A = this chain, B = another copy of it.
């Protein structure tokens, strides 16, 4: 009995609270803002929007630009209530599956040198992620985000950066450990 099952719908509802958007806009929005800790595919977004509309949680505000067809969705009061309800529910414990962790864990059975490579890649990727969050932070400072949301966005980005930084530091320290251990 999963109480808070499909979370995709809540991401959609949450983003539509800020602004009415199309499926395409949502995808971009997700990639640009929450991309560091949440991702969605079109194959998931469009059917979700359809379903939310059928349930009356969002409303279609038909807005085609010229000949190009374009469906913009706005959140309804019912939608806002549903989102608030979900937000109030306790978050389920993080259900992580870290592939890099697994590959290190089984390092004893790996061809020599590959783990070192994985770790170097992890350092790079994690540092890049920190930088990406920095860019989002810059964009936020440059305006256009309402005060109400700003605090929360900053807090979330802070989480992303702390975790990414922790990962980077771990990978560096692991590389050092391996260097000192090797014969």
CA distance A99 to B92 in the complex (A): 7
24 A-B interface contacts by CB (under 8 A): A7-B97, A7-B102, A11-B102, A14-B102, A14-B109, A17-B108, A33-B105, A34-B101, A37-B98, A39-B97, A83-B109, A84-B111, A87-B106, A90-B118, A91-B100, A92-B99, A93-B125, A100-B159, A101-B156, A101-B159, A105-B156, A115-B152, A158-B170, A162-B166
Contacts of A121 in B (CB 8 A): 90-91
CB within 8 Å of B: which residues of A?
A: 7, 10-11, 14, 17, 33-34, 36-39, 80, 83-84, 87-88, 90-111, 114-115, 117-118, 121-122, 125, 148-149, 151-153, 155-156, 158-160, 162-163, 165-167, 169-170, 173-174, 177-178, 181
